[in-house]
């Protein structure tokens, strides 16, 4: 069966499975929309979560939008995520394995429905620029503005021409301007940005909204720098992704997109970006960051706006499922650590690697590799040498601070160990069972547990010294 052609086909597939809720009541995107969806993540078991399509969206100014908004459509639950990948929930790992081992190069097509309506040059603002789209406020009362939470940024390495696709939040700043958060300098777009900065040129970029769901799945996932995410998206679909050339920048974007925003990211100036309610449940603080100047906006005449819901988990954990699988593959297969049994991640905050009777050197290697793969790591420690099995635990988040000596953490460890040792445990099942206690553990001075280029084993020795 052919893969979902675009977001519409994907939403149809969800609806057929009874997994789409259409909301026809008028909903305010600035105060109600994301909180309404968040309620289901707070209140319902994972199996009962659904995707939403808000068909009658207004904002706090009373403006009515002609475009609907879909939330939770890519990864509201494992079942929804499986539909995005067009496989069964138990086939998610195999699907990703195949996509990575059998990537398919994209093809260029001449035209695409997303360029049905184009606002460019003197006409850029004819429909209000970015104000034409119902961009929701993610955490009303706390976020400084509406943010594009599911942008798929397409950029190229200015020296090699190598392409990248990645999701980086974009604060709506004006009808022709957004912010961008490149969370750390290893992010692939940050590398492109830095090369352009050194060359003294702006970074050309295009944001794609919506499109066939494989695009979103690869956009939030970490592949090696040299990998073009569109090749992996082709691997997921079993057919090439169709790309179309942009109008104002030298880039190609998915023909299946709902909206394309073309422009350039400043490399000579920064300006304030954030606050924004972040995935660990804390506010990401304001900082001086690059911004994106819009040159062209294109969209399908009846575009559907897509938004990912993140903020405090559980949420639309679109990259948690894949991160678990990647790290498992990296440790177990690529690094050949045969004692690795399972990897569980909770929203970046906590990462647990379960190992079965490992050699001491294997624990150290696993720790080293897992921390390198997680640049935000705050604490990494082999847990419980006295337990029947060794558990490697990494607390990882820029916002959450934990003390490995506090009572809470002891409890947390026991919980985690119990969860992981339960017979139900498998790579596919592990993550969602970890409770969100990580945010409750006591804070320690940040510098104590900061990685500063030191190796993981040094770090552990310093932890051991207390």
Q: Could you list the residues that contact Mn ion (CB under 5 A)?
A: 164, 188
Quick check: 71 binds ligand FMN (CB under 6 A)? no
189 vs 412 by CB, closer to ligand FMN: 189
The residue from 164, 178, 214, 354 that contacts ligand FMN (CB under 6 A) is 164
The residue from 52, 133, 230, 308 that contacts ligand FMN (CB under 6 A) is 308
234 vs 382 by CB, closer to ligand FMN: 234
Binding mask 218-257 for ligand FMN (x = CB under 6 A): --xxx-----------------------------------
CB of 67 vs ligand FMN, minimal distance in Å: 20
| Distances in whole angstroms, Cα of residue 56 to Cα of each of 216, 230, 325, 384 | 24, 33, 38, 53
Quick check: 307 binds ligand FMN (CB under 6 A)? no
The residue from 95, 119, 188, 459 that contacts ligand FMN (CB under 6 A) is 188
State the binding partner of 221 from Mn ion, ligand FMN, none, CB within 5 to 8 A by kind: ligand FMN
CB of 319 vs ligand FMN, minimal distance in Å: 5
182 vs 337 by CB, closer to ligand FMN: 182
164 vs 256 by CB, closer to ligand FMN: 164
Pick the piece of the chain touching ligand FMN (CB under 6 A) from 85-93, 167-175, 196-204, 249-257. Answer: 167-175
State the binding partner of 319 from Mn ion, ligand FMN, none, CB within 5 to 8 A by kind: ligand FMN
Quick check: 156 binds ligand FMN (CB under 6 A)? no
CB of 426 vs Mn ion, minimal distance in Å: 28
Binding mask 204-223 for ligand FMN (x = CB under 6 A): ----------------xxx-
- Give the binding site for ligand FMN (CB under 6 A): 149, 164, 166-169, 181-183, 187-189, 220-222, 308, 310, 318-319
């Amino acid at each position: 069966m052919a893969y979902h052609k675009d977001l519409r086909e994907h939403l149809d597939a969800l609806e057929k499975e009874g997994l789409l809720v259409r909301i026809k009541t008028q909903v305010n995107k600035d105060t109600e929309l994301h909180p309404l969806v968040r309620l289901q993540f707070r209140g319902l078991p994972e199996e009962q979560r659904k995707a939403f399509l808000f068909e009658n969206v207004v904002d706090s100014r009373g403006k009515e939008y002609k475009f609907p908004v879909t939330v939770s459509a890519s990864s509201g639950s494992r079942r929804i995520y499986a539909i995005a990948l067009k496989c069964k929930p138990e086939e998610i790992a195999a699907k990703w394995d195949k996509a990575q081992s059998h990537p398919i190069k994209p093809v260029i097509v001449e035209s695409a429905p997303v360029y049905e309506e184009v606002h460019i040059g003197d006409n850029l603002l004819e429909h209000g620029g970015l104000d034409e789209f119902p961009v929701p406020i993610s955490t009303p009362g706390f976020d400084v503005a509406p943010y594009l939470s599911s942008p798929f940024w397409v950029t190229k390495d200015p020296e090699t021409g190598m392409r990248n696709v990645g999701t980086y939040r974009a604060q709506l700043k004006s009808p022709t301007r957004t912010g961008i958060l490149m969370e750390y300098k290893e992010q692939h777009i940050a590398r492109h940005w830095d090369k352009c900065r050194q060359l003294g040129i702006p970074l050309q970029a295009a944001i794609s909204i919506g499109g066939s769901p494989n695009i979103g799945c690869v956009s939030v996932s970490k592949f090696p720098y040299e990998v073009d995410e569109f090749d992996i998206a082709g691997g997921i679909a079993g057919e090439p992704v169709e790309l179309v050339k942009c109008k104002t920048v030298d880039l190609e974007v998915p023909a299946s997109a709902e909206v394309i925003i073309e422009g350039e990211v400043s490399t000579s100036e920064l300006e304030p970006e954030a606050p924004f309610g972040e995935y660990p449940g804390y506010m990401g603080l304001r900082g001086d960051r690059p911004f994106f100047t819009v040159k062209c906006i294109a969209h399908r005449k009846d575009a559907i706006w897509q938004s990912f819901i993140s903020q405090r988990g559980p949420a639309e954990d679109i990259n948690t499922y894949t991160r678990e699988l990647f790290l498992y593959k990296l440790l177990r297969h690529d690094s050949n650590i045969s004692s690795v049994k399972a990897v569980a991640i909770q929203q970046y905050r906590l990462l647990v690697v379960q190992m079965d009777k490992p050699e001491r050197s294997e624990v150290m290697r696993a720790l080293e590799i897992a921390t390198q793969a997680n640049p935000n790591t705050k604490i990494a420690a082999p847990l419980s040498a006295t337990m029947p099995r060794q558990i490697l635990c990494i607390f990882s988040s820029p916002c959450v601070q934990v003390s490995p000596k506090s009572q809470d953490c002891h409890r947390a460890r026991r919980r985690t160990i119990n969860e992981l040792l339960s017979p139900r445990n498998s790579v596919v099942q592990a993550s969602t069972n970890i409770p969100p206690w990580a945010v409750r553990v006591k804070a320690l001075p940040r510098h104590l547990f900061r990685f500063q280029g030191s190796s993981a084993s040094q770090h552990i020795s310093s932890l051991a010294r207390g």
